[in-house]
């Protein structure tokens, strides 16, 4: 059988649930202790709950499914074995109205298979148990976020010290409760902090760091391994350096904390390698003091080009009814804004720590030598490669590519960079023509963007509505208004071509 996929949420100790006096739960079989934890609560009266479990659940049942002769056969043994095979964390058995006591054969089966068994008293509804689990999960999630936030602040403070690299390594070792090491481009250990592990563990971590060191499209940015009861992780720093981490266990939030340290160490080691630390600092200070991108660009490396990626979570579609032919009618749900953890994970997959969550999208700044690939759960719009002084143009390209990708339900759409009609006309003349042609729309940015999107989607009302997150009737009204202001017929392909050319000059 496949290994159960335990949800990646902070676990709730079973002991914390048993400590709730309002629930009055009592453990009557199976192992106990701090290592027993649950990730969710689920109620089922199925004789075989295996297909309905993801792993890590407290399964609640009143025993409706139990046949009359179950005590004398293998029923309970098979039932408990299937729960364990599905990754169930514990079983809660509710007393009344079906059973006055927990069947002795069920208690014995749970002891044999090592499944914690809880007795749920008649006065405790299953909904109260499930609510308590979710409350404890929320508290654990909040504690994890606080831990990550505190670690981010301490790592940032360490990076500002006179000895930033050793300070970051020390702080990371403290926050993760393990050992950290920085490896140079030749694989040598440059600095370390924390409690030093066994020589075999150190050797295994060196080998793991070599996995993320080579440059190229197939090189992973991180790798993990376990040896001698120690969890190992290695992270590429992008400059030939690598970060190694050895911890006794893998706790929720560890990867996020290590990712923050990876970003800081990438910048610090990059400064040592390129000598551009002062220029980057000057660029940041100038931006903070109100400088423009054009003023800051000369301070950066002119030989580096960038790609801007705009990303949004893929819309989920919910069933709203059943059609006449029996097919389900679906409607898109509004995507939830991505949180910082999701944005950080996306940046790591794209090979860049430069992320900026804005509303329902995430903007990622990626070096042009790394080609963004489709990412599960995301829709991406990718700009053409540009130098630093043209990043604002690239951001516009990426935003428009994302809008078109969402409208056409394409996982990734790149801005076209091949030569076209615009290359045959002097840019100054083309821009002057565009300003004159589009002058009636100059004071109506919403109309201009609607026209641009509508033309890019070949006049599709529905796809334009999806791209702009408005109703299709709104699109029709705006396009009609555009035609009226421009005094032209938008069904004419020559008119559409001229407008598309003009819009491309903006």
Q: List, as one string, the DSSP characters of 154-203.
A: HHHHHHTSSSHHHHHHHHHHHHHTSEEEEE-TTS-EEEEEES---HHHHH
Residue 115 is predicted with a pLDDT of: 96
Instruction: Return d(Cα 58, Cα 23) in angstroms, integer.
Output: 14
316 compared with 226, residue with greater pLDDT = 226
pLDDT category of residue 276 using cuts at 50, 70 and 90: very low
Q: What pLDDT is recorded for position 273?
A: 45
Q: Pairing between strand 117-120 and 90-94? A: parallel
Best-predicted range by mean pLDDT among 250-264, 319-333, 344-358, 418-432? 250-264
pLDDT above 80 for 401: yes
pLDDT tens digits, one per residue of 320-352: 454 545 554 444 444 556 666 677 778 777 877
- Asked if the model's pLDDT at residue 319 lies above 50, the reply is no
Return all residues near 175 (Cβ < 8 A) that are at least 6 apart. 147, 151, 154, 155, 257
- Say which range, 311-315, 440-444, 477-481, has the weakest mean pLDDT: 311-315
Residue 59: C-alpha distances to residues 41, 43, 54, 191 (Å): 6, 6, 11, 48
* Mean pLDDT for all residues in the chain: 82
Q: Residue 480: pLDDT band by 50, 70, 90 thresholds?
A: very high
Residues in CB range of 420: below 8 A, 6 or more apart: none
Check whether 285 has a pLDDT greater than 60.
Answer: no
Q: Please report, for residues 80, 144, 372, the alpha-carbon distance to residue 256 in angstroms, rounded to integers and kept in the order given.
A: 36, 10, 21
Top pLDDT among 152 and 186 is at 152
Give dist(CA 44, CA 42) in Å, integer.
7
pLDDT digits (tens, 9 = 90+) for 461-470: 888 888 888 8
Full-model pTM: 0.46
The answer on pLDDT for 193 being more than 80 is yes
- State pLDDT tens for residues 18-65: 999 999 999 999 998 888 999 999 999 999 999 999 899 999 999 999
Over the stretch 104-130, which tens digit does the pLDDT of each residue have?
Answer: 999 999 999 999 999 999 999 999 999
Q: Which residue is associated with the tokens 């923050």?
A: 260
Question: How far, in Å, are 179, 262, 383, 384 from residue 367 at the CA level?
Answer: 31, 17, 12, 11
Band the pLDDT of 274: cuts 50, 70, 90: very low
Mean pLDDT value of segment 130-151: 90
- Give the residue-averaged pLDDT of 241-261: 88
- State the average pLDDT over residues 258-269: 85
Stretch 60-83: mean pLDDT? 91
Query: What pLDDT is attached to residue 75?
Result: 94
The percentage of residues in the chain with a pLDDT greater than 90, rounded to a whole number, is 32
From 48-52, 254-258, 355-359, the region with the lowest mean pLDDT: 355-359
Candidates 371, 239, 222; CA nearest to 305 is: 371
Q: Is the pLDDT of residue 253 over 70?
A: yes
Q: Which of 179-193, 333-347, 405-419 has the highest mean pLDDT?
A: 179-193
pLDDT of residue 348: 73
- Per-residue confidence (pLDDT) for residue 494, from 0 to 100: 83
Query: What is the reported pLDDT for 234?
Result: 92
**CA–CA gap between residue 110 and residue 154 (Å, rounded):** 45
Nearest CA-CA partner of 357 in 347, 371, 349:
347
Burial pattern 442-467, b for ≥16 Cβ within 10 A else e, equals eeeeebbbbbbbbbbbeebbebbbbb
| Higher pLDDT, residue 1 or 62 | 62
Q: Among residues of the chain, what percentage have pLDDT more than 70? A: 82
| Confidence at residue 421, expressed as pLDDT on a 0 to 100 scale | 53
Please give the average per-residue pLDDT across 89-111, as a whole number.
Answer: 94
Evaluate if residue 275 carries a pLDDT over 60: no
Whole-number pLDDT of residue 21: 94
């Amino acid at each position: 059988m496949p290994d159960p996929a335990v949800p990646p949420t902070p676990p709730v100790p079973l002991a914390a649930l048993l400590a709730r006096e309002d629930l009055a739960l009592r453990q009557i079989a199976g192992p106990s202790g701090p290592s027993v934890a649950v990730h969710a609560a689920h109620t089922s009266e199925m004789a075989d709950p295996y297909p309905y479990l993801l792993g890590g659940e407290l399964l609640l049942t009143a025993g409706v499914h139990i046949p009359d002769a179950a005590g004398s056969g293998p029923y309970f043994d098979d039932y408990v074995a299937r729960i364990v095979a599905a990754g169930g964390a514990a079983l809660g058995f509710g007393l009344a109205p079906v059973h006055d006591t927990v069947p002795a054969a069920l208690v014995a089966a749970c002891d044999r298979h090592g499944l914690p068994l809880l007795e749920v008293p008649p006065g405790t509804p299953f909904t109260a148990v499930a609510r308590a689990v979710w409350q404890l999960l929320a508290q654990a999630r909040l504690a994890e976020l606080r831990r990550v936030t505190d670690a981010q602040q301490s790592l940032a403070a360490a990076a500002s010290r006179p000895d930033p690299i050793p300070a970051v390594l020390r702080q990371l070792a403290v926050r993760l409760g393990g050992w950290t090491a920085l490896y140079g481009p030749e694989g040598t250990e440059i600095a370390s902090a924390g409690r030093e592990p066994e020589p075999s563990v150190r050797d295994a971590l060196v080998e793991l760091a070599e996995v993320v060191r080579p440059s190229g499209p197939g090189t992973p940015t991180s790798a993990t391994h376990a040896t001698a009861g120690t969890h190992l992780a290695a992270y590429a720093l992008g400059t030939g350096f690598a970060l190694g981490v050895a911890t006794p266990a893998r706790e929720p939030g560890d990867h996020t904390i290590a990712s923050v340290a990876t970003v800081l160490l990438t910048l610090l080691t990059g400064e040592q390698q390129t000598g551009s630390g002062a220029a980057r600092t000057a660029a940041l200070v100038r931006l903070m003091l109100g400088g423009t991108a054009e003023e800051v660009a000369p301070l950066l490396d002119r030989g580096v080009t960038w790609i801007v990626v705009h990303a949004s979570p893929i819309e989920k579609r919910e069933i709203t009814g059943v059609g006449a032919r029996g097919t389900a009618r679906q409607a898109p749900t509004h995507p939830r804004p991505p949180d910082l953890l999701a944005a950080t994970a996306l940046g790591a997959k794209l090979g860049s720590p430069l992320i900026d969550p804005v509303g329902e999208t995430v903007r990622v700044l990626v070096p042009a030598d790394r080609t963004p690939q489709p990412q599960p759960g995301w829709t991406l719009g990718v700009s053409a490669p540009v130098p630093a002084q043209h990043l604002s143009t690239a951001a516009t390209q990426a935003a428009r590519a994302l809008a078109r990708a969402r409208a056409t339900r394409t996982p990734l759409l790149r801005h076209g960079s091949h030569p076209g009609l615009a290359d045959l006309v002097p840019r100054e003349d083309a821009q002057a023509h565009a300003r004159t042609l589009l002058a009636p729309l100059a004071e109506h940015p919403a109309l201009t963007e609607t026209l641009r999107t509508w033309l890019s989607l070949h006049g599709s009302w529905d796809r334009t509505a999806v791209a702009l997150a408005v109703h299709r009737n709104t699109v029709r009204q705006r396009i009609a208004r555009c035609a009226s202001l421009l005094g032209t017929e938008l069904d004419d392909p020559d008119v559409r071509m001229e407008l598309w050319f003009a819009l491309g000059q903006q």
